[in-house]
Structure 1
Amino acid sequence: MMPAPGDPYQKLQPGRQTKGRAGSLQNPQKFKNQDFTQLRDYCLRRRLLFEDETFPAHVSSIGFSLLSEDKLSHIQWKRPTMIERNPHLIMDGASRFDILQGEEIGDCWVLAALGSLTLQRQFLENVLPKDQGFHHSYAGIFHFRFWHFGDWVDVVIDDRLPFLKGKYLSVRPRCKNEFWPSLLEKAYAKLRGSYQNLHLGYISEALVDLTGGVQVQFSLQSPPSDLQEILKAAVKSQCLMGCATPGKPSTGDPEPKNGLVRGHAYTVTGAEEIPYQYSQEKIIRVWNPWGHREWKGPWSDRSPEWDQIPAEYKKALCEDKDDGEFWISRRDFVKQFFSLCICNVVPSFLDFGDKCATTWAMTAYVNQWVRGLTAGGSNYSNGAFSRNPQYFIQIEEPALKNYNVVVSLMQKPANNMPQSQKLLIGFFIFRVEPEFQDLRDRLPAAFFFRHKPQVQKYDFNGQTRDVTDCFFLSPGIYVVVPVTSEEGQEAEFLLRIFLKSQDYTKDQKNRLGPVIPKDPHVLKQSQNISLENIFFGYAKQDSDMNASQLQRLLNEVFLKDQTARPGGEFGFDSCRGILALMDLKSNGRLSLKEFKHLWKLLVKYKDIFRMEERTHAGFLDVSDFRNAVQRAGLAVNDQLFHLMALRYSDSSMRVSFPDFACCMIRFETMASVFSNLSKDGKISFSATEWMIITMYC
């Protein structure tokens, strides 16, 4: 049985994709604070074509290291209306065959992901809004949506595209007057900082950015025995899929005999089992974002194997076109490709083989590794390891035998710029034995000295943004510990944990899906009750109340709507501190007038807390806490904020509403005291006066 909500063992609930909140699909954040509708309307009224100052038609948007100085000096920027008489954003629907990779930028990982995106309309429509085009509302401005470190963002661009010697610098459309591939790629380059930042990358990152989903990679050097079942489930559940060949990319290589490109990303577009030579042949369909250069081995377009299967299968599956798409047997796929990546909103492709219906629940945490506080490094035999953030999960379903846990750890590049140096990151999962399960804060160093991790997942050889994997864990309590390779390394991270359970249809709250947030107002059930009646009811009809009575009132009335309860309740010490700050008579009790002032402050700070609480788990992470302080209009420098975070956050650097309220009330009160007593920005105290203020307030 799980301990009560608010402790480290809290049960995972559906996470961040909450309908309507800032950063959701329905209400994406405005990247660079640019509002597409307002900017377009402004340009239309003034008959202007939009020019984006935040991603200008300049070498800085290309990147200074991508091309030689001579090539950079010859870059020209052209709008589609300058290139074609009748340009279109999309013609006859978006298709992977609309895309042709250019020669100057190694962005196959992006284009392979785009190719997969076109196969799943539910994802494509999220990325490519329909309210734009080249006709009556054309103003040289477009916008696209991407998932960015836990939030959906709307990226605005102008339609000036880079050309080099008359050719597209990067992706070009197969149909010369269809421009969605080039414009979408430009928006992604803006999100990433420059076109240069699209040169060489991981298809796994692009798939996540296009869906907001979770990706799992499978090594094909030692493929799972159930690879075909996973692929079939992935096709059935409408996943996005990509794969890559081994080796380093090299544009100067001659074409190999088998037709595949070395160090190249491809899209997986299908998987089938067909009758062949008295058995079933497993084949996989793959697409090259170059738009040509295909596999030449068995099951390629003209291979003799197609003549040895029933005619209806050949007619349905085999197309002899030089379009970059081909079939390959599972045996050759595993030999020729290095890795397979599968992505979806939830990892439903791991549900194969389960006899019962299943559902996935997800929770997300944004936190930081901070030197000296939460950056304990990866050596779990070192005492500093226990400083790392710790997240507890419980596995409850004994009947499930396949993968039942997916953990995805993502680091946020420094200064939000992807080209910045990435850290080597990973995570450990430890089983928490009964003797340690009564710890309600965090596991001590002694635990990690005595126990080895059940799971060690890290990429300490490369520098990937995400580290994700799937596991089967037997029922029990576990702790997930995200780490950097070395102690003291600092970065912000997003941790997402997916848990699978049986799908009990009567228990709808366990289903993963958009959660419509409540719009509660303080004291919903007591709106017609005056504050006076509430106050005197808890003060037992006395003219004032003590800290114990205040504690009961705040927990039973103010937190009645349950919106702040997951983060904990008001403790007695917190209420005693709040009372001291409100206590104008210094008699250790709270009058009705003082209570009304306190109530106003609590309402104000609860509204701020709600606006900044992205995870909807009852806590603010460090970045949300900073945003909330700024929203409250309080001037706080880095040193003071660091001390506030230390003082009012829990062991995972999260701030509950009661702690947030205590912090804000103390800050506002003490700032007011300073303002009233100061002269020329300074205060002079006697020792007695100083001690009275510090010891009571």
Structure 2
Amino acid sequence: MQGALGDCWVLAALGALTVDRQFLAHLLPNNQGFKMHYSGIFHFRFWQFGEWVDVVIDDRLPFLHGKYLCVQPRSSNEFWPSLLEKAYAKLKGSYQNLHSGFISEAFVDFTGGVNLGFSMRNDSFDLQNILRGAAKSNSLMASIIYNSEGSDQELENGLVAGHAYTLTGIKKVSYMNGWEYLIRLWNPWGSGEWNGRWSDKSREWEKIDVTWRKRLNIPMEDGEFWMSLKDFEQHFDHIYICNLTPIFLEFNDPPQPWRRTMYVGPWIKGSMESRGLIYETIFKNPPCLVTVRESDRFSTSCNVLASLIQKPCGRQIMLKRDTIPAYIMIQKVDPKILEDGLPNSFLYQSRTEDLSSDLIALHDVSFRGTLNPGTYLLIPYFMRTDRELDFILRVYQRSTDYADEVNNSRAEDMPTFDSRITHDDTYENIFARYCNKTSEIEASQLQKLLNEVVLKDESISVKGEGFSLDACRAILLLMDLNVNGKLNLKEFKSLWKHLDTYKNLFRENDLSSSGSLNISSLQNAVEKAGFQVSHAMLKLMVLRYGDSERINFSSFVCCMIRFEMVTKAFRNLNKDGRGVYVGEEDWLQIIMSS
């Protein structure tokens, strides 16, 4: 919960991180705690200007009159929010520098992803589909209500103007012979909730199915509440969405990968005048070339997104007062002209296709647009002449052929950049995201993958702590045909097929969505998988992998993989149908590897 410091923008971003812990796991490295080898320090990772920066802090937190001065944990043994806030304050120079800021900046610093803002008052966009796409892609979401007076102002409807909220969910419910989209929000204060339609005690809940009511409406004064999409659009002014790629914009078209190209370079001092560009020096600044192919046309409103981040030269900290109004110009060019270099008169003679209508004074400015096939020149534009600064320009292209590289060899002063292919959710792309440099997956990487990808599948109910490292070692050994302690792509493909099968079996038999199976449900699942088992074997499965009565999803996966692999080994050895005779070495290998 928020303390005395006015950093609701930080707390709203932290609240979004807890919704999808794949981002939190990178920000907060594992194996830190108060038990073994505790030394009184913690370290966190933040994304700053193209790289991850490690920030180390001690365990002392500011108190005043017996209370936390800044963020206040919900329980007496929860420390990570306060420690993370302290690390972020150190990164920014002080706690004072966290007072009043931008959610978009916190999102990018915490994830290294791309942020996009939508104005409810000025932008023309499909809010319903944008939110559905963001929720489906596990994107971080937050929203704000503007207040012209600057300070927080509590309104009669329970909302707070001048304040940031985290979006924690979106649901479609059957209501009054129709459908209603509901938005769930969280107030970083930990209290103070919306009191209108679909609030905790509103009558609307009495008119929906009792199952959904029990699942969604849990009246508590914890700062979290539901409201209709219509009310959300009416009362909130701006929404921010962040993910590793702009995948949340794909709400209608089939998913396509987004390719990221990153340009890092200095903005040359004196390349701007108060009346506009200085054409003799403008091309000393590194341009970015983007090629859009005919196959890159999509029915959605965006196939190119550019994110411009600025920082002062010579130091890492970029404070709110340091930001310069920024802009991106984009112009279509003839590739033949680039062979001899662009003439100074080029900008006068070419039509500008701007990705933004206004100069914006933000640390991270993102623009989106739809470009027709052709070659384009992107030029960062800063409205100052007396300062030299560094910038990072990240360009995301939605493409059907992401193997092609953007041709950057014709601009003489073009900086080096890295081009990383981002993902959809095919098993190949998931493997690529988590494998090591030799294109193999080890036990620790498999654990991260299973907990961050498989357990995030909303079609199954998850209960328990997830996949342990020992469980992942056991799974790896069972699927590792080469017996080298790693999975290659072919072996991972086989595992992924098993996981899809087990997810379907678990979902079909967890009728109450409790996140676990009893013995009867387990028997149905095993039999649907094609195996006949005795009651004694079922009891043994639950005793070995569950809590003597029920078995959760991660344990079910481990149990089924082991059962299936051992059964297959037995059948391979039982060639005459009379049973199996194995030597000591073969027997030990089967037992130890399973």
Calculate the TM-score normalised by the size of structure 1: 0.56
Alignment partner, residue 2 of structure 2: 101
Query: Do the aligned partners of 2:310 and 2:364 also contact (CA within 8 Å) in 1?
Result: yes
CA distance in 1, matches of 2:191, 2:169: 18
Which of 257, 261, 267 is matched with 1:359 structurally?
Answer: 257
CA distance in 1, matches of 2:392, 2:421: 22
CA distance in 2, matches of 1:496, 1:347: 12
Shift of 1:136: 2.3
CA distance in 2, matches of 1:505, 1:238: 25
Which of 277, 286, 295 is matched with 2:185 structurally?
Answer: 286
- Does 1:430 pair with 2:316? no
- Does 1:393 pair with 2:290? yes
Alignment partner, residue 24 of structure 2: 124
Q: After superposition, what is the alpha-carbon deviation per residue over 1:80-103, rounded to whole angstroms, capped at 9, x for unaligned?
A: xxxxxxxxxxxxxxxxxxxx1012
Query: Do the aligned partners of 1:427 and 1:458 also contact (CA within 8 Å) in 2?
Result: no
Question: Any residues of structure 2 matched to 1:107-186 within 5 Å, and which?
Answer: 107-186=7-86
Alignment partner, residue 222 of structure 1: 122
Which of 211, 234, 238 is matched with 2:111 structurally?
Answer: 211
Of stretches 510-519 and 317-326 in structure 1, the one that deviates more from structure 2 is 510-519
Which of 119, 126, 147 is matched with 1:247 structurally?
Answer: 147
CA distance in 2, matches of 1:515, 1:310: 41
Shift of 1:358: 0.6
Q: After superposition, what is the alpha-carbon deviation per residue over 1:172-213, rounded to whole angstroms, capped at 9, x for unaligned?
A: 101022211111110111111110111000111111111110
CA distance in 2, matches of 1:379, 1:175: 55
Root-mean-square deviation (Å): 2.7
Which of 483, 496, 518 is matched with 2:394 structurally?
Answer: 496
Shift of 1:152: 0.7
Which of 241, 248, 253 is matched with 1:342 structurally?
Answer: 241
- Does 1:471 pair with 2:372? no
CA distance in 2, matches of 1:425, 1:325: 36
Shift of 1:451: 2.2
Question: Any residues of structure 2 matched to 1:451-490 within 5 Å, and which?
Answer: 451-457=350-356, 460=359, 463-490=361-388
Shift of 1:165: 2.4
CA distance in 2, matches of 1:262, 1:250: 9
Taking a change above 3 Å as real, the CA distance of residues 437 and 487 of structure 1, as seen in their structure-2 partners, is: farther
Shift of 1:469: 1.8
Taking a change above 3 Å as real, the CA distance of residues 382 and 336 of structure 1, as seen in their structure-2 partners, is: farther
Alignment partner, residue 457 of structure 2: none
Which of 397, 405, 410 is matched with 2:304 structurally?
Answer: 405
- Does 1:189 pair with 2:95? no
Taking a change above 3 Å as real, the CA distance of residues 173 and 450 of structure 1, as seen in their structure-2 partners, is: same
Question: Any residues of structure 2 matched to 1:255-654 within 5 Å, and which?
Answer: 255-354=154-253, 356-372=254-270, 379=276, 385-396=282-293, 397-402=295-300, 403-414=302-313, 415-419=315-319, 421-432=322-333, 434=334, 437-440=336-339, 442-457=341-356, 460=359, 463-502=361-400, 512=423
CA distance in 2, matches of 1:441, 1:174: 63
Query: Do the aligned partners of 1:370 and 1:488 also contact (CA within 8 Å) in 2?
Result: no
Shift of 1:262: 1.1
Q: After superposition, what is the alpha-carbon deviation per residue over 1:205-264, rounded to whole angstroms, capped at 9, x for unaligned?
A: 1111111100111111135442211111111111111111111576674x3211111111
* Matched letter for residue 171 of structure 1: V
CA distance in 2, matches of 1:180, 1:225: 37
Query: Do the aligned partners of 1:425 and 1:485 also contact (CA within 8 Å) in 2?
Result: yes
Alignment partner, residue 536 of structure 2: none
Query: Do the aligned partners of 1:219 and 1:340 also contact (CA within 8 Å) in 2?
Result: yes
CA distance in 2, matches of 1:193, 1:439: 44
Which structure has more relative contact order (CA 8 Å, sep 6+)? It is: 1
CA distance in 2, matches of 1:215, 1:378: 30
Taking a change above 3 Å as real, the CA distance of residues 427 and 441 of structure 1, as seen in their structure-2 partners, is: farther
CA distance in 1, matches of 2:341, 2:144: 41
Residue 445 of structure 1 aligns to a residue whose secondary structure is coil
CA distance in 1, matches of 2:83, 2:263: 33
Shift of 1:126: 0.5
Taking a change above 3 Å as real, the CA distance of residues 216 and 250 of structure 1, as seen in their structure-2 partners, is: closer
Query: Do the aligned partners of 1:376 and 1:488 also contact (CA within 8 Å) in 2?
Result: no
CA distance in 1, matches of 2:77, 2:173: 39
Calculate the TM-score normalised by the size of structure 2: 0.65
Query: Do the aligned partners of 1:400 and 1:501 also contact (CA within 8 Å) in 2?
Result: no
Alignment partner, residue 541 of structure 2: none
Taking a change above 3 Å as real, the CA distance of residues 229 and 505 of structure 1, as seen in their structure-2 partners, is: farther
Q: After superposition, what is the alpha-carbon deviation per residue over 1:276-298, rounded to whole angstroms, capped at 9, x for unaligned?
A: 22222122111111101011111
* Matched letter for residue 126 of structure 1: H
Shift of 1:426: 1.6
CA distance in 1, matches of 2:100, 2:50: 23
Query: Do the aligned partners of 1:376 and 1:384 also contact (CA within 8 Å) in 2?
Result: no
Alignment partner, residue 563 of structure 2: none
* Matched letter for residue 378 of structure 2: V
CA distance in 2, matches of 1:272, 1:472: 29
CA distance in 2, matches of 1:378, 1:495: 24
* Matched letter for residue 363 of structure 1: T
CA distance in 2, matches of 1:128, 1:517: 21
Q: Which runs of 5+ in 1 are unaligned?
A: 1-99, 520-697
CA distance in 2, matches of 1:360, 1:510: 7
Query: Do the aligned partners of 2:152 and 2:161 also contact (CA within 8 Å) in 1?
Result: no
Query: Do the aligned partners of 2:268 and 2:284 also contact (CA within 8 Å) in 1?
Result: no
CA distance in 2, matches of 1:250, 1:451: 42
Taking a change above 3 Å as real, the CA distance of residues 361 and 504 of structure 1, as seen in their structure-2 partners, is: closer
Q: Which runs of 5+ in 2 are unaligned?
A: 406-419, 424-431, 439-594
Q: After superposition, what is the alpha-carbon deviation per residue over 1:446-500, rounded to whole angstroms, capped at 9, x for unaligned?
A: 121122311142763x531011022111111111000111345311101100000
Aligned length: 413
Query: Do the aligned partners of 1:233 and 1:349 also contact (CA within 8 Å) in 2?
Result: yes
Taking a change above 3 Å as real, the CA distance of residues 124 and 198 of structure 1, as seen in their structure-2 partners, is: same
Query: Do the aligned partners of 2:113 and 2:244 also contact (CA within 8 Å) in 1?
Result: yes
CA distance in 2, matches of 1:413, 1:290: 33
Taking every aligned residue pair, what percent have the same amino acid on both sides? 45
Alignment partner, residue 523 of structure 2: none
- Does 1:235 pair with 2:132? no
